[in-house]
Structure 1
Amino acid sequence: MTQPDVPTVVTVRRDTSGRDVASELGPGTFLAPRPLMPAADGLHLALVGTTAGLLAGDDLRIRITVGPGARLHLMEPTGLVAYDHRGGTSSWRAEVEIAEDGELTWDSQPFVVSSGAGVTRSMDVSLAPGARMLWRDTLVLGRSGERGGRIRATTRAVHDGTELLVEDLDLTDPDVRELPGILGPHRVVGAVTALGADPGGPPHPSRMDLVGPGAQIRLLDTDAPAVERELTAVWESWRAP
Structure 2
Amino acid sequence: MTESLATTVRVEMVRGRARFIELRAGTFLSPRPLNVEGPFARLALVGRYATLLAGDDLRVEIDVGSGVRLELVEPSGTVAYDAQGGSASWSASVRVGVGAQLIWRAAPFVITAGADIRRHTRIELADGARALLSETIVLGRAYEDGGGPLRATMQVYSNTMPLLVEDLDLRNTAHRDLPGIIGRNRTLASVLLVGARPAKACGEHETLLAGAGALARALAPHAHEAQAAVDASWERWSELVEGRAV
User: TM-score, normalization: structure 1?
Assistant: 0.95
Cα deviation per residue 1:51-102 (whole Å; 9 max; x = unaligned)? 1120000000000001111111001111000000001000001111111111
Q: CA deviation at 1:230?
A: 3.0
Aligned-pair identity (%): 44
| Stretches of structure 1 lacking an aligned partner (at least 5 in a row) | none
Q: CA deviation at 1:124?
A: 0.6
Tell me whether 1:135 sits opposite 2:138 in the alignment.
no
The residue number in structure 2 matching 1:8 is 7
Alpha-carbon distance in structure 2 between the residues aligned to 1:75 and 1:31: 12
CA-atom RMSD in angstroms: 1.6
Please list, as runs of the form range in 1=range in 2, the aligned pairs for 1:138-217 lying within 5 A after superposition. Answer: 138-146=136-144, 147-199=146-198, 203-217=202-216
Alpha-carbon distance in structure 2 between the residues aligned to 1:110 and 1:168: 19
Determine if contact 1:150/1:173 at 8 Å carries over to the other structure. Answer: yes
Tell me whether 1:97 sits opposite 2:95 in the alignment.
yes
Determine if contact 1:201/1:238 at 8 Å carries over to the other structure. Answer: no
| Stretches of structure 2 lacking an aligned partner (at least 5 in a row) | none
- SS of 1:36 mapped into structure 2: strand
Q: CA deviation at 1:40?
A: 5.4
The residue number in structure 2 matching 1:67 is 65
Alpha-carbon distance in structure 2 between the residues aligned to 1:200 and 1:144: 38
- SS of 1:229 mapped into structure 2: helix
- SS of 1:236 mapped into structure 2: helix
The residue number in structure 2 matching 1:49 is 47
Cα deviation per residue 1:8-57 (whole Å; 9 max; x = unaligned)? 000011111x1111111111111111111344561000111111120000
Q: What is the total number of aligned residue pairs between the two structures?
A: 239
The residue number in structure 1 matching 2:104 is 106
